[in-house]
Amino acid sequence: MGSGTNVNLMAGLELPVTKDVHIMADFINGNNDISGAVIGFVWYTTEHWQFSLGSQISTPTKSANRVEGAVLEFTFVQ
């Protein structure tokens, strides 16, 4: 193992607003280059398809490697 910490955190949250629309959030934190959060909405369009739209934000501790942007996803669920 390296000299840094090997303790990290990953968490997720999904809160229904309506039957078909939910607020979703994912968070990754630790001593790494991918620490950040994605916050947005998911819309369950049909039984097998969902559409997600959100914003990706880096954690402040990784300001040298900040990556911010939009997240757009189409997901097929069996």
> CA 38, CA 23: separation in Å to the nearest integer?
11
Tens-digit pLDDT profile for residues 38-62? 999 999 999 999 999 999 988 876 5
Contact 29, 5 (CB under 8 A): no
pTM of the model: 0.76
Residue type for 17, please? V
> CA 22, CA 4: separation in Å to the nearest integer?
37
Please give the pLDDT value at position 48.
95
Residues 6+ apart with CB under 8 A from 33: 62, 65
Tens-digit pLDDT profile for residues 6-27? 788 999 999 999 999 999 999 9
Please give the pLDDT value at position 51.
97
Question: Half-sphere exposure (CA, 13 Å, Cβ side) for 27?
Answer: 11
Please give the pLDDT value at position 34.
75
Please give the pLDDT value at position 68.
84
